[in-house]
A and B are shown apart, each in its own frame.
Chain A
Amino acid sequence: MKIYEKPAAFYDEFSRKGGNVKTTHYCPGCGHGNIHKLIAEALDDMHLTEKTIFVSPVGCSVFGYYYFNTGHFQASHGRAPAVATGIKRANPGSIVISYQGDGDLAAIGTAETLHAANRGENITVIFVNNAIYGMTGGQMAPTTLLGQVTKTTPLGRQEDLHGNPVRMAEIIATLPTAHYVERVMIGDAKDIAQARKAIRKGLQNQIDGKGYSFIEILSPCPTNWGMTPVDAKKWLKEKMTQIFPVGLLKDTTEGQEGKWYRQFADFVPEKTDAYLEQLVDVGHLASLDGVSAPDGLQCKFAGFGGQGILTLGLMFAQLAMRAGSKVSWIPSYGPEMRGGTANCSVNIAQKRIGSPLAETPNLLVVMNQPSLEAFEASMQPGGLLIYDSSIVEKAPQRKDIRVVGLKASDMATELGNSKVANVILLGAIIAALDLYPIEFVKESLKGIIKKKALIDINLEALIKGYEMAARR
């Protein structure tokens, strides 16, 4: 079709299109031409052309970028609302139009459509419903009417075979965050005037930060309906509107001004640095006087979940990191996880940590019987095994390792907090391995323990374990 009195929001010539650069690629009598013109005029009158980003879908309207003198994204089939979300969230000041056909919006892109609406994206969705797949040559669309003959419903669409036409406007209107939903049509002049109003309202809502607007436009496709343009309009008005009644479905935009305008701040490196700085809670290492970085420790910490055994491993790693060693901590994963034990591997070295796993530990700390049974055999000869003898009933069997058992859980209960059994064991490890001056450990723990109210009891526990093991 020819577009007369071309709006300024259209390019002067459609040079991206090739062939005749004066006409559109749409068939005679196609509703897309009318709708494009309504949009272009609105962009003109509302002075939006320069800040508009037009998202074209897959379908007959894939070539939106032939015509509008705006920014353009061509989206993959059905994903225009997701693309529009990506644009609008990182550029809230732009005007984003998601222009989609029925296959795109109501079939392959249903999820994107519903969820963009449900998030209340501050965008304008123009849904061109012509009850058929146009570009691919006339197959059944989700909006195809019952009885309508298409290439894939040669006997007509049947409810018991193909389901019913999907009424997207009605579905969208059920979502509280879709504040403006209207169905209009490319029928006679009066209908088109209503469509013009609806498009402008949808755009104005976006400018005003009123959130998601959905405008469904019934649009003729004479080519694939196999009708003349005149008959097509007649069919649209008489048949399509029976299933897809035109009119306002919902307008709850009042009072929504600005609410859906989501800010996006520019990247300021200094701000990011300051933010990262405050995230880091081990900003500076504890004073290293008299502290030497441990080396060559391959440790396994194992017990029941909830005993704080993974935290014990983590505290042990953090101490070594503060003392200047390289460390790795990894919770059990994969097949190791079976058998009722939670465990983690900690590796500590001065130079480089190869394997982060502890296949053959030289330090094993266990807080339950299954863990002892699972890992005792894997220990290196000469290694240290520390266990909570309040819980582990059968003592370790190996004679070629050092074994320290202490009633950590009972001691913790005596201290008044059964949760600090792990820190009692920590004290015992430090003493048994003669790893660090106890002052260093105390100072470090003050930084490591997040809940400040718990610091005192933990330090008490630490000393208990330390002294108990030191005495042996």
Chain B
Amino acid sequence: MTTQLMKGNDAVIIGALAAGCRVYFGYPITPASEIAHAAARHFPALGGVFVQAESEVAAINMVYGTAGMGVRCMTASSSPGFSLKQEGLSYCAGAELPCVVIDVNRGGPGLGNIAPEQSDYFQVTKGGGHGSYRLITLAPNSAQEMCDLTFLAFDLADQYRTPACLLADGVIGQMMEAVDVPKARPVPFDHSDWAVRGTPETRHLITSIYLEADALEAHNLKLAQKYQRITENEVRFEEYCTEDADLIVVAYGVVSRLASSAIDLARQQGLKVGLLRPITLWPFPSQKIAQLAETTKVFLSLELNSMGQMVEDVRLAVNGKKPVYFVGHCGGKNFGCQEIVDLMKKYL
């Protein structure tokens, strides 16, 4: 195993390379541009493709083209850019195309600023484009996970023929940590029964249009079943000190890192507190949270946004059994560890 100190944004491309992706289409945007920089350096060096697209919209549609051939490909952006990609993502979901999209969440709404936020939870996890669909959403909280979850995203996308997203934040993207570089592995999926490759046998049709009501309903029900299978099989999360916890913080990304330090501090003071960190934001670890609701006394959703987004999913999972509170920061302001400890004391 080789280890390298690298930025989370660079680690994304290392993970992608190991997963066999060498096709990148993207548009520059802070704070996600390093991902494009790394792709521009590494993909062509391995005989792959890097295209700086004319727009976010063009980039996701280029992805649609490559993905429709069953070839691994990706794009990355930050919040306003992700908004622009929503139409294309709806098409990718509708046409069932495997691809990977990274969103390094920055401050909004509108132009906002370039500082870290977690205000894209809704637009990523709820399927922000038109129509009924979901995006597999992974939330890394370290440079290693930026690498590993990118790799995983490609596999999940291929396995379920659907777009998979990484929802990261500027801190995780800009932070350098030691990353164990994974070994490359042949792509273990065969898409010859649907992918169009310009060969006699692959003269299939990539589309999301179903004119007849019956046909479109059948297509949607098929998609719904797929999303159900993903919900049943792909939930991932991490628990920290939850066994005896009276208060459980729910947090992802950089906030989960801050919360874990706060829990260490709080435990030193005798507070029984723990952390549930969703690694998949969709599918959301609802069952796990419902279980925890049996034993703990209160939940506290800490997020980098103003009104709470993930907290809605926490509340659905807790289903009124225990109180669920939300505290947020936004605009680039972040939690302090001592602040989190104080919040724990307040809500315990």
Contact = CB atoms under 8 A, between A and B. Distances in A.
A356 B171 contact: yes
Interface string B250-277: 0000100111111110000000000000
User: Nearest 6 CB-CB pairs, A to B?
Assistant: A86-B65, A265-B47, A94-B198, A354-B261, A334-B332, A82-B61
Interface string A64-87: 010001111111100100111111
Given A272-B17, A330-B176, A357 B42 contact: no
Chain B CB within 10 Å, residue with most, of A76, A93, A266:
A76
A279 to B, nearest CB: 7
A329 B175 contact: yes
Contacts of B53: 82, 115
Given A86-B25, A86-B62, A331-B174, A359 B5 contact: no
Contacts of A359: 336-338
Interface string B117-156: 0000000000000000000000000000000000000000
A224 to B, nearest CB: 20
20 contacts: A18-B211, A51-B199, A65-B205, A69-B203, A76-B61, A76-B64, A79-B64, A82-B64, A85-B58, A91-B197, A264-B48, A269-B20, A270-B184, A272-B46, A275-B45, A276-B18, A334-B333, A354-B262, A357-B258, A357-B334
Given A53-B196, A89-B23, A277-B2, 17 more contacts: A73-B68, A76-B64, A79-B61, A82-B58, A86-B66, A87-B65, A88-B65, A89-B66, A90-B66, A94-B198, A111-B55, A112-B58, A283-B2, A327-B178, A331-B174, A353-B257, A354-B258
Interface residues of B, number: 85
Interface in A392-433: none
Using C-beta atoms within 8 Å of the partner chain, give the interface range for chain A: 35 or more
Contact of A83 (B64, B204, B263, B264): B64
A391 B152 CA distance: 49
Contact of B260 (A55, A76, A317, A354): A354
A178 interface: no
A79 B88 contact: yes
A269 B47 contact: no
A119 interface: yes
Contacts of A272: 17-18, 20, 46, 184
A76 B84 CA distance: 13
Contacts of B175: 328-330, 356
Contacts of B2: 276-277, 280, 283
A331 B88 CA distance: 34
Given A65-B205, A72-B207, A276-B181, A112 B197 contact: no
Contacts of B196: 53, 71-73, 87
A411 B55 CA distance: 51
A257 interface: no
Consensus secondary structure, chain A interface: mixed
A115 B260 CA distance: 47
B200 interface: yes
A50 B203 CA distance: 7
Interface of B: 2-5, 14, 17-18, 20, 22-23, 25, 42, 45-49, 51, 53-55, 57-59, 61-69, 71-73, 87-88, 91, 95, 115-116, 170-171, 174-178, 181, 183-187, 196-200, 202-209, 211-212, 254, 257-264, 332-334, 336-338
A112 B87 CA distance: 15
B183 A271 contact: no
B30 to A, nearest CB: 11
Nearest to A51: B198
Contacts of A82: 53, 57-59, 61-62, 64-65
Contact of A355 (B20, B48, B51, B258): B258
B5 A264 contact: no
A350 to B, nearest CB: 13
B47 A330 contact: no
A114 B204 CA distance: 28
Contacts, number: 249
Interface in A88-131: 88-91, 93-96, 111-112, 114-115, 119
A86 B204 contact: no
Nearest to A285: B3
Contact of B61 (A52, A83, A335): A83
Given A73-B196, A282-B5, A265 B61 contact: no
Contact of B64 (A18, A86, A93, A273): A86
B304 to A, nearest CB: 11
A326 interface: yes
Nearest to B23: A90
A16 B4 CA distance: 53
B63 A86 contact: yes
A124 B14 CA distance: 35
Interface string A350-373: 001111110100000000000000
A90 B209 contact: no
Contacts of A83: 61-62, 64-65, 68
Contacts of B171: 330, 333, 356
A326 B261 contact: no
A318 interface: yes
Contacts of B25: 85-86
Given A76-B87, A90-B66, A328 B23 contact: no
Given A86-B62, A90-B73, A333-B115, A263 B257 contact: no
A267 interface: yes
B334 A321 contact: no
Given A86-B62, A86-B65, A272-B46, A119 B51 contact: yes
A330 B169 CA distance: 13
Contacts of B22: 265, 267
Nearest to A69: B203
B129 to A, nearest CB: 10
Residue picked from B58, B187, B196, B334, most chain A C-beta under 10 Å: B58
B299 to A, nearest CB: 20
A456 interface: no
